[in-house]
Structure 1
Amino acid sequence: MTTAQTVMRSDVAHISVRDTMEIAAQRMRQLDIGALPICDSDGCPVGIVTDRDIIIKVVGVGANPKTTTAGEMAQGADKLHTVEADADIDEALTLMQQYQIRRLPVTEHGMLVGIITEADLARHLPDRTVGGFVEAVCALHLPSTTES
């Protein structure tokens, strides 16, 4: 059985609910990543912020990234979906497809221990499985093309 732990990245970076969106953006730039889980003081994930969130939900509405906190972003977000490290990868894929999410935090007893991204799926799973995931989650967000 392939578990979430087998596929996840265990070196997941995260930010605190007290960190600002400016700090989040700087961290994403330094690490060359596009998303960071938001954790409470106990290390439990409560949200996730993407580079797009910072642009659309902070800068785009005139809010100040130097004062807008990750906690504020987490409060306005949809319910955060996570998967336990020992869960079968099929459970993780089902969650990601059902809720159209590209990054899934992995927990152990509620604490963040990793993250599963599209790239992780591509590295660890058969092409057919990854193709099904891309079709179910990613293809819906791609611009359509038309042939002339």
Structure 2
Amino acid sequence: MTTAADIMHPGAQWVPATETLDRAAQLMRELDVGALPVSDPTDADERMCGILTDRDIVVDCVAAGHDPARVTAGDLCQGTPRWVSTEAGLDEVLREMEGNQIRRLPVIDGNKRLVGLISEADLAHHLSDDQLAEFVERVYA
């Protein structure tokens, strides 16, 4: 059975909710990623409070006339964070992403530590053309 651990891009990194968006953007560039899970630094377990994307920074901050050196990652986090465990099967990954219409899904290990992120590109390597078309239709509907 294919698991989330098989699909994910390993080595995902947190950005603290208190981090400014200009620094978050620099981290995205350094890591060559378009999204970063956001952690709540007031929580001793560093629980995830959302995901920040490059699009969020551009649309919700820069295009809205805000200063990315003053707006924090936590300011843009909305909704309930979603994730799967490393042991989740492909069907569970697809249900979570399709059911919540999300394009990136954090993967958490048994100790509740962030160990990876699953993106559409990661899924494309593990799905048939029909499965991929169905995924895209459901997520972008």
With the length of structure 2 as denominator, give the TM-score of the two structures: 0.87
When normalised by structure 1's length, the TM-score is 0.83
Structure 2, unaligned runs of 5 or more = none
Shift of 1:31: 2.8
Structure 1 partner of 2:120:
118
* 1:71 equivalenced with 2:68 (yes/no): no
Report the counterpart of residue 61 of structure 1 in structure 2: 64
Counterpart position of 2:131: 129
Higher helix share: 1
Q: Is the 8 A contact 2:13 2:114 kept in 1?
A: no
Residue 120 of structure 2 corresponds to residue 102 of structure 1: no
Contact in 2 for aligned 1:97/1:136 (Cα 8 Å):
yes
Q: Is the 8 A contact 2:106 2:116 kept in 1?
A: yes
The letter for the 1-side match of 2:27 is R
Deviations 1:41-95 (A, max 9, x none): 4343221011111112112222221121112222xx0111111111112111011
Helix, strand or coil for the counterpart of 1:61?
Answer: coil
Task: Tell me, in whole angstroms, the C-alpha distance in 1 between the residues paired with 2:47 and 2:116.
Answer: 11
Amino acid of the structure 2 residue aligned with 1:110: K
The answer to whether the Cα contact below 8 Å between 1:45 and 1:111 also exists between their aligned partners in 2 is no
Question: In angstroms, what is the RMSD of aligned CA positions?
Answer: 1.6
| Secondary structure in 2 matching 1:106 | strand
**Conserved? CA contact 1:103–1:117, under 8 Å:** yes
Does the CA-based 8 Å contact 1:81-1:104 persist in structure 2? yes
Local SS of the residue matching 2:29: helix
Q: Which runs of 5+ in 1 are unaligned?
A: 141-148
Larger radius of gyration: 1
Give the residue type in structure 2 aligned to 1:49.
L
